[in-house]
Amino acid sequence: MSERAAAAATGVAAVAAQTLNKAFGGVQALRAASFAANAGEVHALVGENGAGKSTLIKILGGRFPPDSGTILLDGEPVRFSGPADATRRGIGTVFQELTLLPWLTVAENLLFGREPRTAAGLIRRASLPQDAEALLDDLGISHIDPRALAAEISLSERQIVEIARVITKKPRILLLDEPTSSLVEREVAWLFERIRELRALGTAIVFTSHRWNEITSIADRITIYRNGSEAGTFTEIEEGEAITLMTGRRVDALYPKLPPLLAGAKDMLALEGAALPGTAAANGQHAAELSFHLRAGEILGIGGLAGQGHRELFLGLFGAPPLARGKIAVGGKHLRIHRPSDAINAGLGIALVPEDRKTEGLLLPLSVRYNLTLPILRRISRAGVIRTPIEARMSRDIIAALGVRTPSAAQRVGALSGGNQQKVLVGRWLLAESRILLLYDVTRGVDVATRHEIYDLIMRLAGEGRAILFYSSDTEELAHLCHRVLVLRDGRVAAELVPPALTAEAVVSASMRQARAA
Amino acid sequence: MPRDSADEAAGRWRSPASHAFGQHIGLILALAILLLAIVIFSVMFTIQQQRLPGNFEVTSTVNNTMPLAIAAIGQTIVVLTRGIDLSVGGMVDLTNALAAILLRPNLGNQLAVSAIIIVVGAAGGLINGLLVGLGRLQPIVVTLATLSIYQGLAIRVLPQPGGAVPPGYTGFLVNPNAPTALVFLLIAIVLWLGLRRTRLGVDIFAIGADEQAAIALGVRAVRTKIIAYTLAGALYAVAGLFLAATATAGDATTGDSYTLTSIVAIVLGGVSFFGGRGSAIGAIAGAFIITMIVNILFFAKINPLYQAFYEGLFLVIAVVLGALIGRLVRARR
């Protein structure tokens, strides 16, 4: 009996984590997290975005060390000095962010770190393509040209090369972080065939996925993560039960009352036939298209898992960069939005409050006033000179109206808290008289108290007849702050939810159901 | 997943030659521009001198280009890691000055002094590498600072132009009677092709292409950067030795121009400033293009006062043409 089989028989996990903690900046990604996977099993790791799955996989893959806690291999505590160390100890990791080097060929990438050598120890560059082709053939892949640059092949092909690189190293522990997110069905089937082969050979396989039917079709056990720690491990669990464990708490009273939606409110923003980049639809693999109407006073939520093109949708409506396909109508008038200035000046005015306010929204070293009045300088100038008294009055008014906590309008925006920075951004677009607001994950990284002020602000803006398109990585927010939620999957609307069917569980469940073949 | 007709139709599988052409387009363009410059020069020379350029012209061109060609290889290695090295000028100054005061007409001295000077260059590069790698500082700021420091040291070593390089040393490195220095370039190219086939070579390209991905693949990025800058420093020292041999005397400021010309040479040679793409062979070709432009201007009887203007003009034209053709080739694939 091999050592590994012996360990499995005695119930010692091939890989385990105990009380792992890891923080990034102020965010606690893992708190006392535990996990264990056995040799010869496929172990699914599930949870909402930000639950700590990727952090766990990166720590187990040696990408970075935990702040505290223990990693065990076959019951022995280990410390990885880096990814190469983890690889040496038999751990193969497919990270969520692909690690193919764009200007190397497929062959160079596939054989990176184990290139064939001459007697003198030099890499035999000439034989790399044949060696790579042989490796790919063994895995049943013959549609990828080993001489092509990684930058030249498609996203799903890159994902397959990445997977091939790791499994051809024959790891005894295989970690796959969302390996199927960019694969189409026949490619998923190919991957699962390989996973079953490896399981039969005694490999411990850990994988994350948001597609429930994939999880149930291949996983022997399922571990659920929530808020950075384990919420339970099961051999069998119903989808609904799993979703409740993933989303956790019920928080009804924490949200303000929605302003009533007026019957006959007019369309403010309409999108027809958009293809979101990065999704199967944009790759032409499905004919999926996205269309919706947003009315005055309405808060329309956009739900779905990460990587479904939300960000591209919000940025696209703002022209930064524009959507590849799709017609946009503002206030019933068709128009083209090529760049942000088109959006800001479009009929009713479209404004974007992005998630990454530090790099996309605000000029942190500059003052609150400067940030507030940037888009309207022309309006408050005469003969090209800014009329500073008007600028000062407008900034003061908006700071008071939104309750921005700042000592003065001259304060550096970078010195404000995240929530107050977010208010400055909203205030900017109120000054610009934008009637259509695109709010993209505006409460991310915002403390609880300020978060509620922002909720109230959103309600007030909608009550005044503005149209709001809303995305949040927090499904509870989607469920409670929106009149209506469209759940995106594979670049199309998978479900349209309105109260009373609009619950966090329903949003998650609609996000996870496997897309039907087109 | 077998190759199917859709893949064939999309032309995704192409011949090895087609791949090689697309992946080396920068180098191919550099060689084409060099060829064009040589043809233009030869035509002008033949018209004015009533004969083809001969041994003298080839030898002086090769010898004058040697310091820049070697310095450009060093710059290539640094830029491949997605860095930049502005300290080239100071390093060439310093090593050139050291060569002028230390070299004596006996072989033992010449071997020892050459070795010492290369170690000095490597040490200068190591300082850059430590600051960039361990210190995580911007390469442009670090090497701008060390440029001044190395320039200052050079002036300290050789306050006035002077010293003397033994004729035997000059004869060996840059033989004035025949283009034997091409042998050194051949050696450099062979060493470059060898470097491409070592772990270090692969890692240099890897961190330039995507540092985070390379780290995830187990590449030790900090160490690789330190080695790259050190290697580059050693090459600048070799450039300084060639410069001393060509000039047969030392001057602590003649090396200054190499900071900019080495960058121009690698741009002409098709090395990407975004890292991860390029070849030292292209950089050598770029260095020769610069020399040929100067030669052409001489035969075009351009007033030396305007030489910089025309040099700049030709460089802009060459770079714009190169970028346009490169984009066209990539777009057609």
Closest CA to A371 of A449, A432, A306: A432
Which chain B residue's Cα is nearest to A146?
B13
Q: Note whether A104 contacts B205, CB cutoff 8 Å.
A: yes
Distance from CA of B31 to the nearest CA of A (A): 21
Residues in chain A, overall count: 518
Segments of B29-135 assigned E as strands? none
Phi, then psi, of A15 in degrees rounded to 5: -140, 135
pLDDT band per the 50, 70, 90 thresholds, residue A276: confident
CA angle at B269 for the pair B60 and B47, rounded to the nearest 5°? 45
Is residue A367 packed enough to be buried (19+ CB in 10 Å), middle (13-18) or exposed (0-12)? middle
Q: What is the pLDDT of residue A357?
A: 58
What is the rounded distance in angstroms from the CA atom of residue A425 to the CA atom of residue A404? 10
Residue B298 CA to chain centroid, in angstroms? 23
Contact A165, A173 (CB under 8 A): no
pLDDT given at position A336? 87
Element (H, E) at B300: none
Q: How far is A140 from chain B (nearest CA, A)?
A: 6
Q: Which residue has the tokens 């203007």?
A: B309
Residue A516: predicted pLDDT: 41
| A3-90+171-247 carries CATH number 3.90.45.10 | no
Q: Smallest CA–CA separation between A187 and chain B, in Å? A: 7
pLDDT of residue B80: 97
User: In chain B, whose CA is at the least distance from the CA of A63?
Assistant: B216
What is the chain B residue with the closest CA to A83?
B218
pLDDT digits (tens, 9 = 90+) for A426-436: 888 888 888 99
Q: What is the CA radius of gyration of chain B?
A: 21
**Local confidence pLDDT in tens for the 333 residues of chain B:** 665 544 544 445 788 888 888 889 889 999 999 999 999 999 999 999 999 999 999 999 999 999 999 999 999 999 999 999 999 999 999 999 999 999 999 999 999 999 999 999 999 999 999 999 999 999 999 999 999 999 999 999 999 998 889 999 999 999 999 999 999 999 999 999 999 999 999 999 999 999 999 998 889 999 999 999 999 999 999 999 999 999 998 999 999 999 999 999 999 999 998 999 999 999 999 999 999 998 998 888 888 888 888 878 887 887 788 778 877 876 665
- Give A190's contacts in chain B (Cβ within 8 Å): 1
Query: Which of A102, A108, A148 has its CB closest to that of B210?
Result: A102
**Contact, A507 vs A497, CB < 8 A?**
yes
The reply to whether A3-90+171-247 and A267-349+434-518 are identical in fold is yes
| Helical segments of A304-438, H only | 310-317, 340-345, 368-373, 388-402, 418-431
Helix or strand holding residue A188 (H, E): helix A185-200
Burial class (CB in 10 A: 0-12, 13-18, 19+), B308: exposed
Predicted confidence band of residue A196 (pLDDT cuts 50, 70, 90): very high
How far lies B25's CA from each of B4, B72, B162, B326, in Å? 29, 19, 44, 7
> From the candidates B8, B12, B14, B273, which should be mutated to test the interface with A, based on the most A CB atoms within 10 A?
B12
- A32 contacts A19 by C-beta, under 8 angstroms: yes
Contact A87 B218 (CB under 8 A): yes
Q: CA torsion, points A446, A448, A449, A450, in degrees to nearest 10?
A: 20
Q: How far apart are CA A372 and CA A427, in angstroms?
A: 7
B104, B166 in Cβ contact below 8 A?
A: yes
B14 CB neighbours in chain A (<8 A) are: 145, 147-148
- Does the CA dihedral A56-A57-A62-A64 come out positive or negative? negative
Q: Answer whether A282's CB lies under 8 Å from A491's CB.
A: yes
Q: By the CB < 8 Å criterion, does B276 face chain A?
A: yes
Distance in angstroms (rounded) separating the CA atoms of residues B13 and A122: 28
pLDDT tens-digit profile of A10-50? Answer: 678 999 999 999 987 666 889 999 999 999 999 999 887 66
If we measure between CA atoms, which residue out of B256, B265, B241, B68 comes closest to residue B150? B256
Residue A252 has pLDDT above 50, yes or no: no
- Tokens (6 digits) for A143: 């549609």
Instruction: From A482, A455, A479, select the one nearest A469 (Cα to Cα).
Output: A482
The packing angle between helices B280-299 and B307-331, to 10°, is 140
Q: Which of residues 91-120 of A touch B (CB under 8 A)?
A: 95, 97-105, 108, 112-113, 115, 118
Q: How far is A146 from chain B (nearest CA, A)?
A: 9
Three-state DSSP class for A197? Answer: helix
Partners of B215 on chain A (C-beta within 8 Å) are 82-83
Q: Is B57 on the interface with A (CB under 8 A)?
A: no
The structure's pTM equals 0.75
Contact B1 A113 (CB under 8 A): no
Does the beta carbon of B285 lie under 8 angstroms from any beta carbon of chain A? no
The answer to whether A478 and A304 have CB atoms below 8 angstroms apart is no
Cβ atoms within 10 Å of B260's Cβ, excluding its own: 12
Domain ranges of chain B: 24-331
Q: How far apart are CA B270 and CA B283, in angstroms?
A: 7
What are the DSSP E strand ranges found in A296-373? Answer: 299-303, 327-330, 333-335, 350-353
A83 touches B at CB < 8 Å: yes
Task: Using pLDDT thresholds of 50, 70 and 90, give the confidence band for residue A404.
Answer: confident
**Percent share of chain A, pLDDT over 70:** 89
pLDDT value for A448:
55
SS3 B247: helix
B294-307 b/e (C-beta count within 10 Å ≥ 16 → b):
bbbbeeeeeeeeee
Could you tell me the pLDDT band of residue A447, with boundaries at 50, 70 and 90? Answer: low
Asked if the C-beta of B194 comes within 8 angstroms of chain A's C-beta atoms, the answer is: yes
Q: In this predicted structure, what is the pLDDT of residue B333?
A: 55
Residue A441 pLDDT > 80: yes
Does residue B215 or residue A357 have the better pLDDT? B215
Question: Residue B217: its chain A contacts at CB < 8 A?
Answer: 83-84, 99, 101, 112-113
**Interatomic CA distance for residues B23 and B33, integer angstroms:** 18
Alpha carbon separation from A418 to A384, A443, A454, B126 (Å, rounded): 33, 9, 11, 42
Tokens of B203: 């890692």
Q: Does B134 touch chain A (CB under 8 A)?
A: no
pLDDT over threshold 80, residue A417: no
Q: How far is B259 from chain A (nearest CA, A)?
A: 27
Tokens at residue A438, please? Answer: 């695109």
A25 interfaces chain B, CB cutoff of 8 Å = no
CA atoms within 13 A on the CB side of B146: 29
pLDDT of residue B311: 79
From the list A62, A367, A13, A75, the residue with the least C-alpha distance to A221 is A13
pLDDT-derived band at A192 (thresholds 50, 70, 90) equals very high
Per the CB < 8 Å rule, is B14 touching A105?
Answer: no
- Beta strands A327-330 and A333-335: pairing type? antiparallel
Q: How are strands ordered across the β-sheet holding A267-274?
A: A290-295, A267-274, A327-330, A333-335
Chain-chain contact of B14 with A147 (C-beta, under 8 angstroms): yes
Q: What is the pLDDT of residue A115?
A: 94
Question: Which region among A47-56, A309-318, A454-463 has the lowest average model confidence (pLDDT)?
Answer: A47-56
Could you say which of 3.40.140.10, 3.40.50.300, 3.40.50.1440, 3.40.630.10 is the CATH number of the domain covering A267-349+434-518? 3.40.50.300
Measure CB to CB from residue A101 to each of B13, B19, B213 and give the nearest one. Answer: B213
Do residues A481 and A299 make contact, with C-beta atoms less than 8 angstroms apart?
Answer: yes
Q: Which residue has the tokens 């893959």?
A: A61
Return the exposure string of B32-65: e unless at least 16 CB atoms fall within 10 Å of the residue's CB, then b. Answer: ebbeebbebbeebbeeeeeeebeeebebbbbbbb
Q: Do residues A310 and A489 touch, judged by C-beta distance below 8 A?
A: no
For residue A145, the distance in angstroms to the closest alpha carbon of chain B comes to 6
For residue A344, what pLDDT is reported?
83
Q: How far is the C-alpha of A276 from the C-alpha of A290, rounded, in Å?
A: 8
Nearest-by-CA chain B residue for A114: B199
Which strands, in side-by-side order, build the sheet including A68-73? A27-37, A15-24, A68-73, A76-78
Mean local confidence (pLDDT), A433-452: 77
Q: Which of B14, B198, B214 has its CB closest to that of A123?
A: B198
Look-up of token digits 């083209």: A336
Give the pLDDT score at A259.
87
Which residues of chain A does B206 touch, with a Cβ-Cβ cutoff of 8 Å? 101, 104, 112
Q: What is the mean pLDDT of residues A233-254?
A: 73
B221 has a chain A CB within 8 A of its CB: no
Show me where the domains of chain A are located.
Answer: 3-90+171-247, 99-169, 267-349+434-518, 358-433
Nearest residue, CB atoms, A125 vs list B4, B14, B197: B197
Decide which of A517 and A232 is more confident. A232
Q: What percent of chain A has pLDDT over 90?
A: 39
pLDDT, position A281: 46
Interhelix angle B88-102/B221-247, nearest 10 degrees = 50
User: Which of A 53-82 lie inside 8 A of B, CB atoms?
Assistant: 63, 82
To 5 degrees, how large is the angle CA A203–CA A209–CA A210?
A: 160
Dihedral angle sign, alpha carbons of residues A331, A332, A333, A335:
positive
Q: State residue A490's pLDDT score.
A: 74
Q: Which of A101, A118, A140 minimises the CB distance to B210?
A: A101
3-state secondary structure of A182: coil
Cis peptide before A321 (omega within 30 of 0): yes
Express each pLDDT in A90-126 by its tens digit: 999 999 878 899 999 999 999 999 999 999 999 999 9
Q: How far apart are the first and last CA of chain B?
A: 24
Q: Which of B3, B16, B218 sits opposite A83 (nearest CB)?
A: B218
Report how many helices (DSSP H) and strands (DSSP E) chain A contains, helices first.
17, 22
Of B194, B201, B218, the CB nearest to A84: B218
Q: Which two structure tokens, joined as six digits, stand for A399?
A: 């700071």
A93: β partners: A175
Query: Has residue A7 got a pLDDT over 60?
Result: no
Give me A257's structure tokens. Answer: 């009352």
8 Å CB contact between B72 and B239: no
Calpha distance A181→A53 (Å, rounded): 15
> B16 at the A interface (CB within 8 A)?
yes
